[in-house]
Amino acid sequence: MQSNLLTGLVQNRRSAMTSLVGAGAAFTGMAGSSAQAMERMQNGKGGLDLNDPYDNLYAFGKIWSGYGEPVIGAFHGLMYGRVGTARMTPLFGYTGTGVLLCDIAENGDLLIKSRETGYFTDLETGDILETWYNPYTEETVEVYHFYNDVLVGRIGPEIPIFFMGANSDSPTLMNEGTVFPDENGKYPFLLPFEQYGDELMLSWDYTHEYTNPVSPEGWPKSSTGARISPSEHFTMQVKRAELEDRDLPTCRMTAGFSRVSQWWPFMKMGETKFAEGVMFGRMFSHKGLKDYGEIPPKVLAYIEKHAPEYLDMPDISWDPKNDRVDTWKTYAKDIPPENPNYTGFQLDPIRPPTGSGSQY
């Protein structure tokens, strides 16, 4: 499921160094906990201790992804726009897929891979859009489709703290508001699970603010300003019995997924009186059905025709890789600057199969 949720789990070079130091200290203090969690994992017994960071890592991998064989999931819903105090207006559908795989490292860390797509669709027909009429500017624009070729990350026994944007930007703590430091100031990977009946419910949130890769200097029409602040919020549901059954490599997960951000760059809202508007999206997200049962039929048909490789996981190692995890960052790699005098742009050799970025 394409989203910045997995962006936060993939460590760039700066956050990797921070996390490795912190994880080393945390691992020393949790060695006994890790051994017990690994024993439960290996013998398939003992259920889950949700007070153990390593059982939480195992559980999160199974909820979001699956072990042994890749699983495929999807998201789909609507996106709205608001300018000032005007009412929210539906603009287009938002949908996509994720091929997902995870594993447990020898020290108990969670390894995770994904390959993702993201598309915008016509509200009435559900067809994937190649162009879109912008009711604010009264212009028709080419739609930018998001393709993340592959993402590989590693999560240790602490909640990820990660960096987006420029070197001067502040890091983001995942799940701020539902995770809290221990006596050593560390944030152990303990997720905010809640149980009602036989279901476990889990929230996952991030709230970013960072330097806009689609800068006003380079892309004055596509950029809404020097900074952006996207956030995403998930509420996931799983059956606890499925999650604790270690003979099952994955479990059925359904989620509500909401998103708030500035306008997407392809909407060309820069240098207009609408530039400071807000996007809001509400989506379904889910995984766990066999074959391609999660994917809306029109989305599946489009991918099978134009980008069938995005229905499979590429044969790639577990070495961290996060070249195309952020829509603004990939837009600034795929779409040449509007300002011909802007320097520093380099076209990404990984080309998106469709959408405005595919023509270059």
How confident is the model over 154-168, as pLDDT tens digits?
999 999 887 888 889
Question: Is the pLDDT score of 36 beyond 80?
Answer: no
Query: What pLDDT shows up at residue 37?
Result: 67
Query: What interhelical angle do 31-43 and 53-64 show, nearest 10?
Result: 40
Question: Is the pLDDT score of 266 beyond 90?
Answer: yes
Instruction: Give one DSSP letter per residue of 75-98, joined into a string.
Output: EEEEEEEE-TTSPPEEEEEEEEEE
Question: In which element (H, E) is residue 281 found?
Answer: strand 278-287
* Domain interval for residue 207: 4-359
Number of domains in the chain: 1
Quote the pTM value. Answer: 0.89
* Token pair recorded at residue 197: 């009946």
Query: What pLDDT shows up at residue 18?
Result: 30
Mean pLDDT of 5-24: 37
Contact 275, 225 (CB under 8 A): yes
CA-nearest of 110, 112, 104 to 39 is 104
Query: What pLDDT shows up at residue 20?
Result: 29
Contact 150, 113 (CB under 8 A): yes
Distance CA 104, CA 58 (A): 7
How confident is the model over 165-215, as pLDDT tens digits?
888 999 999 999 999 999 999 999 999 999 999 999 999 999 999 999 999
Question: Is the pLDDT score of 97 beyond 50?
Answer: yes
How confident is the model over 301-328, as pLDDT tens digits?
999 999 999 999 999 999 999 889 899 9
